[in-house]
Amino acid sequence: VLNGTYPGFVIFPHTFGGWGDTNFADINDIINFMVANADVDPNRVVVHGLSQGGKGTWEYINAHPRVFAGAAPMSGIIGDN
């Protein structure tokens, strides 16, 4: 994304077996590192996920509602279904 036109970062976390507090704590650590060391604006961090990532997006924003400026879950189920 850092191509000289629009400075930004894209991070693609993966999980095997589902999302949860451990994954979210690791992702929070990455976000905090990037804010502190890479001139990332904490008020412009957005989360997006597709399928299992969409489910993780819903879970993440419910568990940590103040981390992201926006969210775009796609094709992610809510709950245990």
Q: pLDDT class for 2, splitting at 50, 70, 90? A: low
Quick: pLDDT tens for 44-59.
999 998 888 888 888 8
For CA atoms 61, 58, 14, 3, the dihedral sign is negative
From its phi and psi, is residue 43 left (phi > 0), alpha (psi between -120 and 50) or beta?
alpha
| Global confidence as pTM | 0.78
Contact 62, 36 (CB under 8 A): no
From 47, 59, 62, select the one nearest 18 (Cα to Cα): 59
